[in-house]
Every structure is written in structure tokens, then in C-alpha cells.
Amino acid sequence: MQHPLSKPKVLLVDDDHVFLHVYTTILQQHFVTHGAQSPEEALEKLSMEGPYAVVVTDLNMPELNGLDFLRQVSRLAPRTKKILFTGKPDLDSVQPELLLPLVKKNTVVLLLQNGINIEPEISQIIGSNALIGGLCFVCSNKVGAGKICNLDYGCTISIGQYFPNNRPAGITEQMREIAQDFEQANIPIELSEDLLLARWKKLVWNIPYNGLSVVLNARTDEIMANTDTRFLVEKLMWEVAAGANSCGRIIDDRFIQKMLYHTEKMKPYLTSMKLDYDRKKPLEIEAILGNALRMAQEAGVDLPMISLLYRQLKFLDFRNQLVPLPGS
């Protein structure tokens, strides 16, 4: 039995020793961390050195993938919390297979993902269990194997609970419990009474800067320093606000001006979509732009500038996937 005041034990599983070292270093201040470079090694540790409060694993590993590994963890240690991480292109394909074996009565699912209207599909998979949507506000770039450069603003996570038809959920007990877990790890967290509004507000930044950074091949500071591109940013922001309004959510001028001001003060930054494009990874076009367009269209509202940006990105992404990286 673990003493209530002792550090929780976490088992980290990844066949990449660099990532394993990075995760261990990050977490060891607040957790007792054990590492394993294979599911087989991890299962042995689970039997010999458990119980663990949390098991964190990669999806793609040789011999036994993360999903099959977590199924075995569930049998050996049903009360242990389980976290699986993977790249964005793999996420949609594994959602049903990932969630169904892990979801029991009163399970709470936390979805940390960019975009909007992504909860309904997950909600169908998990049924009546609680679904919490989360938005990560972080200004960082991966600069090498196991190396993350945090450029500005630290890291804040905003969470809100999903209710059918995107009804505001208020602040729920499940949200408070998740917030407590993050706060114990010294990660700032904000609770949102209205998840849909929070997602539209995130799009005020994500749609113009992610989209234009790819189309214009530019950093955020370059976009903001030019009168014409800054004009495009503001017009796109107002279209996002119009999309939010079509869903009964209000984003006012003060919020838009705050986003412009913070971006002007931000250190030069390549957006996540631009980095994905440069690395020839699939872009999050549908989650960020496509879903926003479709929600507005269903309400009878046209967003012409976002639609144009969406079509440009679809073409660029398609062409980008056809040409391999040099040396690959």
C-alpha cells in the first residue's frame, strides 16, 4: 500500500531510450519514475515492483504494441491508470480500438487535441462515460530527438466537459479531479464552463496563424510585421468569431485584440502546422478548419476566407505527401 503522502509511482514504457530519458527527467521531481524499453520488461516490473499509480506507454513498439500491452496491464493491475501516446496521424485509426477495452463504468476520458467538434465521435465510442475536452496553450517546438524548445508562455491546459449537442456543462466534479492531477504535477490548468466556446476561442489563433504560416511559408513574427498579412489575420479572426456566433457563442473584439497583442509580443515562432508541413506529416486541416466550416455551414453561415484557406491547405498537404523528404 502506497503512503498517501509519498510520491506516486509511474511506469514509463518506450523503446526509444532518448524519449524515455526525457520523460523520466521531467516527471521525477513529482513522481517515483521507473522506465522500461519494452512491454515485456514493463510487465515484469509491474509484477515485481508494482503497484503503479500510472502506466504511460508509446503506441508503436516492436513485438507488442501499446494497445495490446495496456490490455495486459488492465488484467494485471485493473486499478492502475493508463496513458497511451502517439502521433497525430495514428490517432483517428486507433480511437475505437484504444478506448473500448479500457472504458469501464464511470471511466473519464480526457481528449487533448486541437480543433473543434471532435468530441461527438469519441462520445459515441464511450457511451455515457464522462468526456473531457482539453486545449493545450504552449509555445514550443521539437528541435531534435528528445529535445523540446519552450519559446514562450510556459504551458497551460484548459479543460471543459462535453455534453450532447455541445451544451455548456459548467464546472463538473470530474473536471475538478482531473485538474487536481495536473496541479500536483505543477501544470497550470483552467476550467471552462463551456467547452465549445473554449474551442472556438482557440481557433481564433489556430486558424489564421497555423493556416497562413503554411501558405505563406512564414513565422508568426513575419506575419504580424507585414501590414497586408496582419490584415488577413484579423479578417480571419473575425470569421472565426462569426462561426462561433452561428453556434450561439460570442467572441468579442476585446478577445481578438488580445490575441493580436500577445502574438505581436511573442518570440518568433513556427506553428505546429508549419512544422508538420516541413516534416511532410499530415496536417490537422479537418479538425481545425474543416469542422469549423461545416459547423457554420450547418447553421447557414458562410466563412469565405476560411474556406479559401482550407482549400489552399488541402492542395498543399496533398502535394506535400507525394514528394518524399530528401534522403528518405
The percentage of residues in the chain with a pLDDT greater than 70, rounded to a whole number, is: 88
**Residue in the structure block whose three cell numbers are 469565405:** 304
Look at residue 235 and tell me whether its pLDDT is greater than 60: yes
Among the listed residues 202, 258, 267, 280, the single catalytic one is: 202
What is d(CA 235, CA 279) in angstroms, rounded to the nearest whole number? 29
Q: 2-11, 38-47, 243-252, 268-277: which range is least confident on average?
A: 2-11
> Which residues sit opposite 35 in a β-bridge?
12
Distance CA 25, CA 31 (A): 10
Q: Which residue has the cell 473584439?
A: 253
Residue-level pLDDT at 269: 85
pLDDT surpassing 90 at residue 215: yes
Q: What is the residue-averaged pLDDT of the chain?
A: 87
Tell which residue, 143, 158, 81, has the closest CA to residue 112: 158
The mean pLDDT value for 71-88 works out to 82
Mean pLDDT, rounded, for 245-259: 97
21 vs 299, which has greater pLDDT?
A: 299
Cell of residue 306, nine digits: 476560411
- Assess whether pLDDT exceeds 60 at residue 188: yes
Residue 278, pLDDT score: 93
- Across 276-300, average pLDDT: 95
CA distances from 293 to 114, 244, 245, 276, 309 (A): 15, 10, 13, 22, 11
Share of the chain above pLDDT 90, in %: 57
Burial of 166 (C-beta count, 10 Å sphere; 0-12/13-18/19+): buried
Q: What are the phi and psi torsion angles at 303 (to 5°)?
A: -120, 80
Task: Note the Cα 94 to chain centre separation in Å.
Answer: 15
The pLDDT confidence band at residue 327, using thresholds 50, 70 and 90, is low
How far apart are the C-alpha atoms of 318 and 306, rounded to whole Å? 18
Active site residue 202: yes
Could you tell me if 71 and 81 are in contact, meaning their C-beta atoms sit under 8 angstroms apart? no
Note the pLDDT of residue 285.
96
Q: Kindly report which listed range (7-16, 143-152, 274-283) carries the lowest average pLDDT score.
A: 143-152
199-218 as b/e: b if 16+ CB within 10 A: bbbbbbbbbbbbbbbbbeeb
pLDDT score recorded for residue 39: 92
The per-residue pLDDT for 1 is: 47
108-112 β-sheet, strand order: 108-112, 130-144, 147-161, 189-191
Give the number of other CB atoms < 10 A from CB of residue 186.
8
Residue 258 in grid coordinates: 488580445
| Type and span of the H or E element at 65 | none
Encode pLDDT of 136-177 as tens digits: 876 555 555 555 555 555 568 899 999 999 999 999 999 999
DSSP annotation string for 114-169 = SSSS-HHHHHHHHTTSEEEEEEEEEEEEEEETTEEEEEEEEEEEEEEE--GGG---
- Average pLDDT of 171-186? 90
Residues 290 and 297: beta-carbon distance below 8 Å = no
For range 235-243, the mean pLDDT: 99
| Higher per-residue confidence, 139 vs 85 | 85
H-helix segments, the chain: 17-27, 39-49, 66-76, 88-102, 119-126, 173-184, 195-215, 220-225, 227-246, 253-265, 272-278, 285, 291-298, 304-322
Average confidence (pLDDT) over 245-263: 97
Domains assigned to the chain? 1-85 (3.40.50.2300), 198-322 (1.10.1040.10)
Distance CA 70, CA 50 (A): 15
Q: Flag whether pLDDT at 300 surpasses 50.
A: yes
Q: What is the pLDDT of residue 130?
A: 93
In this predicted structure, what is the pLDDT of residue 50? 87
